[in-house]
């Protein structure tokens, strides 16, 4: 892209944020269509299952020998007879991989691979109703993907953890079709996340793939939540897509005796407000209501909860009442074999452990987790912190990096804006202070607020201490967040456990304070004295002392999400015999063994 165009886009982004405008369905990914809300509630054909794949280190399927894009790349996949024509690849005789999955744990040769893999899947299509429109939907592909249907490019997407879809009505055929996807998970400096991070760069088509069918004019997006500051006014919008843009829309919530009709404008948009007295969603009673949205041509059903989330001084209020967020941080990594989560049972195992721990809250770090995880958390009564991978030091001055981060933020919000469980949008983790970073993050924060004012904004900050033992947070971004969250590692990266007893805290902001991370490493089954690092005893002692510090020497704390539920793979963790490629700060090992610290935290939560 020419730098002038980049500059204009960057200025446009900023202008949109400054004006506080909602960038309706902001799009930075080319050839994609606005996200369809709640795909699991539509008529879908799953395209999960076996896909053939080719490992393409040199990207010969995309570029010719002059390294320019080849119009006859692998996506064409023509049938040749090998006598009159040749081709140097063949999907149909290539190995198969189960999708969704990460490729690293599916094929030992791909464990450390970062590069391009091509996937192909054949499927039969029978139109379910004449005149329907069809979309290809991907829950997530890590990281850079190009999608082709029947040899034609239909979309591309950047960003490894958010969904995207593209209309394929005109390319889809009755009978056999084939979809080819080029997936590239190479890390690069301007990406989000960037080159450097403390989790595993699983590549592949990591979430559900579906063909979604909708009527010619359909309900593409909607928001149905309590109006900010109200417990008895449900508000939101409906956005249609299709030629019959002006139509009557009905929203019904039978259990609340709500039935409201409205007219969409010439752009297919209608906003609404309706009086209702819902039983409010909470951790102890995660009440959800059937919500039906109907137009002459379409109907969508969803289950939606209603709650308020606000702050008052240093407190967080759920439904108007102070609440302490008893949390745990979680990576989207499967228990027992440690790969990217690819089914509901794996989500459930993690959430069951969080429940056993006594949590009412989960920090889903460091990127948006799969949609089913969020829905499951909601049904189980967990409040959720949802985060984009703006992590450590990314390119704060690069307009493309901003556009990418902003797009991931938008896709995260669009997907989950009806989930009552999501109470916090987090825009960053442990980022270094500086003007460019402050501008980047404050713009993200303003945009998140403009897109959704029914949740709180936070980010995981770092300490700026007042003295070696007087710990504090001083961050210009404090003006732009609702909750001051801090990752801190006294007893691990900062001194040994004895230091924890010597520190106290002074945080001057009149906003709720959360400890978004603390912890230390321990090898499950490795025992020793309380001061012997890597033992379960050391980690347990770190927890005991930190929890005591929170009780006695921190100004009121509104919640915590210690690091982390389960040991997870990280290429930064190289210590043989101890780490072996895993971050060992889990309360539970990667094999599912609970460490002593699990009991320590469980006991503290029991009395909280
Ligand atoms: C942090 C990061 C997290 C790391 C953790 C650690 O502060 O936010 O991603 O995994 O520390 O274990 O060092």
Tens digit of pLDDT for each residue in 513-524? 999 999 999 999
Does 51 sit in the ligand 1 pocket, CB within 6 Å?
A: no
Does the beta carbon of 487 lie inside 6 Å of ligand 1? yes
| Whole-number Å distance between alpha carbons of 567 and 608 | 25
Residue 85 banded pLDDT, cuts 50, 70, 90 = confident
Is the pTM higher than 0.85? The answer reads: yes
Q: 11 pLDDT exceeds 90?
A: no
**Cα-trace Rg, the chain:** 25
Q: What is the mean pLDDT of residues 552-577?
A: 97
Over residues 262-280, mean pLDDT:
97
| pLDDT given at position 566 | 98
The predicted model gives 224-231 an average pLDDT of 97
Residue 416 dihedral angles phi and psi, to the nearest 5°: -115, 15
User: Is the CB of 144 inside a 6 Å radius of any atom of ligand 1?
Assistant: no
Q: How many CB atoms within 10 Å of residue 166?
A: 20
> Residue 65: is its pLDDT beyond 90?
yes
230: CA distance to ligand 1 center in Å? Answer: 37
CA-nearest residue for atom 13, ligand 1, is: 198
The strand pairing partners of 122, in sequence order, are 178
| Pair 288, 281: CB distance under 8 Å | yes
Give ∠ CA 42-44-50 in degrees, rounded to 5: 150
Does the pLDDT at position 28 exceed 80? no
pLDDT of 8 strictly over 50:
no
Does residue 10 carry a pLDDT above 80?
A: no
Provide mean pLDDT across the span 244-270: 97
Calculate mean pLDDT across residues 327-342. Answer: 98
Average pLDDT for residues 73-82, to the nearest whole number?
Answer: 88
What is the mean predicted confidence (pLDDT) over 250-260? 98
24-28, 247-251, 457-461, 488-492: segment of lowest average pLDDT: 24-28
- For the cut 80, the answer to whether the pLDDT of residue 575 exceeds it is yes
Alpha-carbon torsion 269, 232, 360, 488, what sign? Answer: positive
Asked whether residue 583 carries a pLDDT value surpassing 80, the answer given is: yes
Average pLDDT over residues 397-413: 98
pLDDT at residue 245 greater than cutoff 80: yes
C-alpha 459 – ligand 1 centre gap (Å): 14
The whole-number average pLDDT for the span 534-551 is 98
Segment 292-296 mean pLDDT: 97
Average pLDDT over residues 159-180: 97
Expressed in angstroms and rounded, the spacing between residue 591 Cα and the centre of ligand 1 is 20
Confidence at residue 80, expressed as pLDDT on a 0 to 100 scale? 81
**Most informative mutation of 193, 196, 197, 198 for ligand 1 (most atoms within 8 A of CB):** 198
Is residue 402 within 6 Å of ligand 1 at its C-beta? Answer: no
From CA 515, how far away is CA 559, in angstroms rounded? 7
For ligand 1, the distance from its centroid to the CA atom of residue 198, given in whole angstroms, is: 6
For residue 138, is pLDDT > 50? Answer: yes
**Token pair 């991370």: residue:** 517
Angle between helices 536-553 and 596-606 (to 10 degrees): 20
User: Over 80: is that where the pLDDT of 14 sits?
Assistant: no
Determine which of 119-128, 286-295, 347-356, 423-432 has the lowest per-residue pLDDT on average: 119-128
- Ligand 1: does its nearest atom lie under 6 Å from the Cβ of 567? no
How is residue 293 annotated by DSSP? E
Q: State the average pLDDT over residues 54-58.
A: 98
* Cα(357) to centroid(ligand 1), Å: 21
Residue-level pLDDT at 30? 66
Residues 61, 67, 73, CA angle at the centre, nearest 5°?
25
Q: What is the pLDDT of residue 130?
A: 65
Average pLDDT over the chain, rounded to whole? 94
């Amino acid at each position: 892209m020419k730098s002038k165009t980049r500059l204009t886009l960057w200025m446009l982004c900023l202008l949109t944020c400054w004006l506080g405008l909602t960038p309706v369905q902001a799009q930075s990914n080319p050839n994609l269509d606005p996200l369809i809300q709640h795909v699991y509630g539509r008529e879908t054909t799953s395209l999960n299952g076996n896909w053939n794949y080719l490992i393409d280190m040199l990207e010969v399927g995309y570029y010719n020998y002059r390294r320019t894009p080849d119009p006859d790349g692998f996506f064409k996949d023509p049938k040749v007879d090998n006598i009159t024509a040749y081709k140097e690849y063949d999907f149909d005789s290539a190995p198969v991989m189960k999708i969704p999955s990460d490729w690293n744990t599916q094929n030992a040769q791909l464990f450390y691979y970062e590069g391009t893999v091509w996937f192909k899947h054949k499927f039969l299509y029978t139109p379910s109703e004449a005149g329907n429109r069809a979309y290809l939907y991907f829950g997530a592909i890590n990281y850079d993907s190009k999608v082709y249907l029947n040899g034609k490019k239909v979309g591309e997407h950047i960003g490894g953890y958010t969904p995207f879809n593209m209309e394929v009505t005109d390319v889809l055929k009755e009978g056999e079709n084939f979809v080819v996807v080029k997936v590239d998970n190479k890390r690069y400096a301007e990406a989000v996340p960037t080159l450097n991070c403390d989790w595993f760069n699983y590549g592949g088509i990591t979430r559900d793939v579906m063909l979604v069918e909708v009527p010619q004019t359909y309900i593409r997006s909607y928001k149905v939540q309590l109006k900010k500051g109200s417990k008895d006014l449900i508000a939101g919008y409906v956005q249609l897509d299709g030629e019959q843009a002006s139509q009557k829309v009905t929203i019904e919530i039978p259990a609340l005796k709500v039935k409201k009709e409205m007219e969409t404008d010439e752009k297919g948009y209608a906003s609404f407000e309706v009086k209702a007295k819902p039983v409010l969603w909470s951790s102890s009673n995660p009440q959800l209501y059937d919500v039906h949205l109907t137009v002459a041509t379409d109907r969508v059903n969803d289950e939606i909860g209603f709650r308020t989330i606000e702050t008052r001084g240093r407190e967080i209020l759920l439904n108007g009442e102070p609440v302490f967020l008893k949390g745990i941080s979680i990576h989207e990594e499967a228990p027992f074999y440690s790969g990217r989560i690819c089914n509901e049972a794996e989500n459930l195992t993690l959430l069951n452990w969080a429940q056993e721990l006594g949590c009412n809250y989960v920090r889903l770090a460091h990127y948006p987790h799969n949609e089913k995880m969020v829905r499951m958390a909601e049904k189980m009564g967990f409040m959720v912190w949802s985060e984009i991978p703006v992590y450590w030091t990314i390119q704060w001055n690069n307009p493309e990096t901003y556009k990418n981060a902003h797009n991931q933020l938008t896709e995260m919000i669009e997907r989950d804006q009806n989930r009552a469980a999501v109470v916090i949008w987090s825009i960053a983790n442990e980022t270094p202070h500086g003007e460019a970073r402050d501008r980047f993050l404050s713009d993200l924060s303003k945009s998140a607020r403009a897109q959704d004012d029914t949740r709180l904004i936070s980010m995981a900050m770092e300490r700026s201490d007042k003295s070696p033992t007087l710990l504090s947070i001083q961050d210009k971004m404090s003006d732009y967040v609702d909750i001051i969250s801090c990752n801190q590692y006294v007893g691990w990266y900062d001194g040994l456990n004895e230091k924890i007893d010597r520190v106290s805290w002074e945080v001057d902001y009149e906003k709720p304070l959360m400890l978004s991370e603390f912890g230390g490493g321990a090898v499950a089954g490795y025992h020793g004295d309380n001061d012997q690092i890597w033992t379960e005893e050391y980690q347990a002692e770190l927890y005991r002392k930190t929890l005591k510090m929170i009780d006695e020497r921190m100004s009121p704390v509104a919640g915590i999400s210690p690091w982390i539920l389960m040991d997870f793979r990280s290429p930064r963790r190289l210590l043989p015999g101890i780490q072996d490629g895993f971050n060992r700060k889990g309360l539970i090992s990667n094999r599912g063994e609970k460490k002593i610290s699990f009991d320590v935290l469980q006991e503290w939560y029991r009395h909280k």
